[in-house]
Amino acid sequence: MILTVTLNTALDLTYRVPELVPHASHRVDEVTERPGGKGINVARVLAALGHESVVTGFAGGRTGAVLRELLAPLAPVDALVPVAGTTRRTIAVVDAATGDTTQLNEPGPQITADEWEAFLTAYEPLLREADAVALCGSLPPGVPVGAYADLVRRARTAGVPVLLDTSGEPLRRGLAARPDLIKPNADELARLTGSREPLRAARDARRRGAHAVVASLGPEGLVAVTPDGTWQATPPSPVRGNPTGAGDSAVAALLSSLVENLPWPDRLTRVVALSAATVLAPVAGEYDAGAYEELLTGVRVNALTG
């Protein structure tokens, strides 16, 4: 079983409009509603890849109830911890004319000290059943900024490989707890290390505590710095669509290939192909299965030296 942690779950709303024009009223062509938050998206993709997944984190209020109703018929197992506050919403507005997406993210509910302790109590037994764990996304108000560092240490004590996918100070502190893998994008990596050169920044992040670093470069693929080598992986050609959730699919690809014990070049091929196939899907937490199979044969993985 693969455990995903989403402390700041969300109800994801996607609006498709013919053209997004600032300061104008818009007629929405299509609305989709999905259970969301990075770890929930990861778990849904893992399930589609054939892996058992369990989601935990917080859910509360009317929005949290809708999220859990939408999650119930899906493959991931719901182990969310109830809270008094109301789960946030995220709104993605997709411009059909350009394919661009505008994202609006609410902050999330205020988490009390007792609710945080309830989560920690639930986390420990879930860890004992997990083959790997992913710690994903932002922290809701009230959760300690060092929360991910604590969760990384608990996973390492339990002997469970842990992937950390967050940003800012939670990433900086979590890195010091020595996670097995981090997956920042180029901007997150630059803010962490102060370097805008992805390969140099990835190497710096690994020196700061990560066992391995896989840095997403968007349409240009990724760079990976690992104990077994350093690689750059690129898609066969640029893809256009909704990039929301592409990073979550990358995490799912890394987790699935980790528990399958694939060599790093095969892991990175899966990451790039699955991320690109997600851009071609209409909403986060899904990917275009046909495109994924085609992309697998075209991803280029090159070893880097120096």
> Which residues are known catalytic residues?
248
Q: Is 143 left (phi over 0), alpha (psi -120 to 50) or beta?
A: beta
Beta bridge partners of 92: 14, 103
Distance of CA 75 to the CA centre of its chain: 17
